Structure 1
Amino acid sequence: MQYVQPKKVNHQTANRLWSVKDFCSQHSLSSKEETRLLQLFGQFATACELRYNTTHKPRWR
């Protein structure tokens, strides 16, 4: 266990959190995929987590 002093914490390295619902609507993900991500992460997750855990159907014919 390590104690972190609040004055020494660097606030510039914070990750941006996304609403899972907003991410799914922006990236045209299905409601089934949105439900899976909500179960996995809850309401919010980092962009990196969302990108690496989405599955897309191929766009070719």
Structure 2
Amino acid sequence: MTEHIEPSQIETDDLTKVWSVTEFCARHHIDTEEQAQLLKLFGPFATACELLHNARRAQRFR
């Protein structure tokens, strides 16, 4: 079964929010090597969606 959704019904504010790459890395515990890769890829600012899909985070085991 499919359902038609109007684009105006979808909220994408959180994914299109622009972040500072260094602040994003600090909040998500991303190491400096990965932060350098993200800075090289995007520059100093990127959307949350871009950062979440391109960041590699180390596994956090208990």
Q: Give the CA RMSD over aligned residues.
A: 1.8
User: Which one-letter code corresponds to 1:22 in the other structure?
Assistant: E
Distance in 2 (CA, whole Å) between partners of 1:24 and 1:39 is 14
Runs of 4+ in structure 1 displaced over 4 angstroms? none
2:25 is aligned with 1:24 = yes
Q: In the alignment, which residue of structure 1 is the partner of 2:45?
A: 44
| TM-score, with structure 1 as normaliser | 0.70
Question: How much does 1:60 deviate?
Answer: 3.2
Distance in 1 (CA, whole Å) between partners of 2:60 and 2:27 is 17
Ranges in structure 1 where 5+ consecutive residues have no aligned partner: 1-12
Q: Quote the sequence identity (%).
A: 47
DSSP 3-state at the match of 2:58: coil
Select the structure that is richer in helix. Answer: 1
Q: Paired residues, what number?
A: 49
User: Which one-letter code corresponds to 1:54 in the other structure?
Assistant: A
| TM-score, with structure 2 as normaliser | 0.69
Question: How much does 1:16 deviate?
Answer: 1.3
